């Protein structure tokens, strides 16, 4: 009513901008948090550790090459990785951001009604992350994420492992976490490495849902 001088074409553009629909996607191409199946391999496309590294950088306790490496990983797009995972049969996938690797895995197992097993030795870590965590340097978001440790089975057995805190490390521009059919995992990793995700790794396995209240088992 307040735009009487606009041409009809202009009005059509205005109406289009008011439309809350921002895009369309083929529903068969969507990867959701749910959909993991027992026996699937869990794949992470990028190393974790940005939270502790940048907390250390603010204290002037991080080496320059650690931060350079972290920035290079952060600026690497997840697009090619997502396409690769989908091509190898991944139906469940999410990006690893503020809730850390464990937090996002908990979301996925709940959405899929499964359990999961994670091997700490297989998780890729950014250069320097183990050193800064060993000094007790954590992101300010770490304590909030630690509340999710209630999802971990036999917590006393694993909580003393020096790599354990990095499961809760909040990521900025982190990689992807996906479940891929076991028989496609090796070929998927080869393709991810070829695409430039040099530290992509199989970090665990999806298990059938159990009667335990804690769905996550961590191997050291």
Dist. CA 138–CA 55, nearest whole Å: 6
Lowest mean pLDDT among 8-22, 63-77, 110-124: 8-22
User: How confident is the model at residue 27, as a pLDDT?
Assistant: 65
pLDDT averaged over the chain? 90
Question: Tokens standing for 196?
Answer: 């430039």
Higher-scoring residue by pLDDT: 158, 125: 125
- Please give the C-alpha separations between residue 110 and each of 6, 138, 214, in angstroms, as whole numbers: 52, 27, 11
Among 91, 101, 79, which Cα is nearest to 195's? 79
Question: Tokens standing for 65?
Answer: 């090459």
Lowest mean pLDDT among 12-26, 35-49, 101-115, 185-199: 12-26
Lowest mean pLDDT among 113-117, 154-158, 171-175: 154-158
pLDDT tens per residue, range 25-59: 666 667 787 899 999 999 999 999 999 999 999 99
pLDDT tens per residue, range 52-95: 999 999 999 999 999 999 999 999 999 999 999 999 999 899 99
**75-111 as b/e, with b when 16 or more CB fall inside 10 Å?**
ebebebbbebbbebebbbbbbbeebbbbbbbbbbbee
User: How confident is the model at residue 32, as a pLDDT?
Assistant: 80
- Please give the C-alpha separations between residue 135 and each of 52, 129, 162, 171, 202, in angstroms, as whole numbers: 10, 10, 10, 19, 28
- Residue 118 — very low, low, confident or very high, per pLDDT cuts 50/70/90? very high
User: How confident is the model at residue 43, as a pLDDT?
Assistant: 98
Dist. CA 48–CA 52, nearest whole Å: 9
């Amino acid at each position: 009513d307040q735009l009487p001088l606009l041409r009809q074409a202009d009005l059509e553009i205005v109406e289009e901008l008011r439309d809350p629909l921002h895009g369309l996607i083929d529903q068969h191409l969507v990867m959701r948090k749910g959909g993991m199946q027992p026996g699937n391999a869990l794949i992470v496309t990028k190393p974790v550790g940005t939270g502790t590294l940048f907390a250390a950088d603010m204290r002037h306790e991080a080496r320059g090459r650690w931060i350079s490496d972290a920035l290079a990983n952060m600026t690497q797009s997840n697009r090619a990785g997502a396409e690769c995972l989908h091509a190898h049969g991944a139906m469940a996938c999410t990006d690893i951001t503020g809730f850390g690797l464990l937090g996002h895995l908990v979301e996925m197992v709940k959405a899929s009604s499964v359990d999961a097993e994670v091997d700490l030795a297989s998780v890729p870590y950014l250069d320097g992350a183990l050193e800064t965590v060993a000094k007790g340097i954590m992101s300010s978001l770490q304590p909030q994420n630690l509340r999710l440790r209630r999802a971990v089975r036999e917590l006393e057995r694993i909580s003393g492992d020096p790599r354990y805190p990095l499961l809760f490390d909040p990521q900025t521009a982190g990689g992807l976490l996906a479940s891929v059919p076991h028989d496609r995992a090796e070929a998927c990793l080869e393709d991810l490495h070829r695409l430039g995700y040099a530290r992509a790794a199989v970090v665990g396995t999806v298990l059938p849902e159990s009667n335990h209240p804690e769905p996550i088992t961590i191997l050291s």
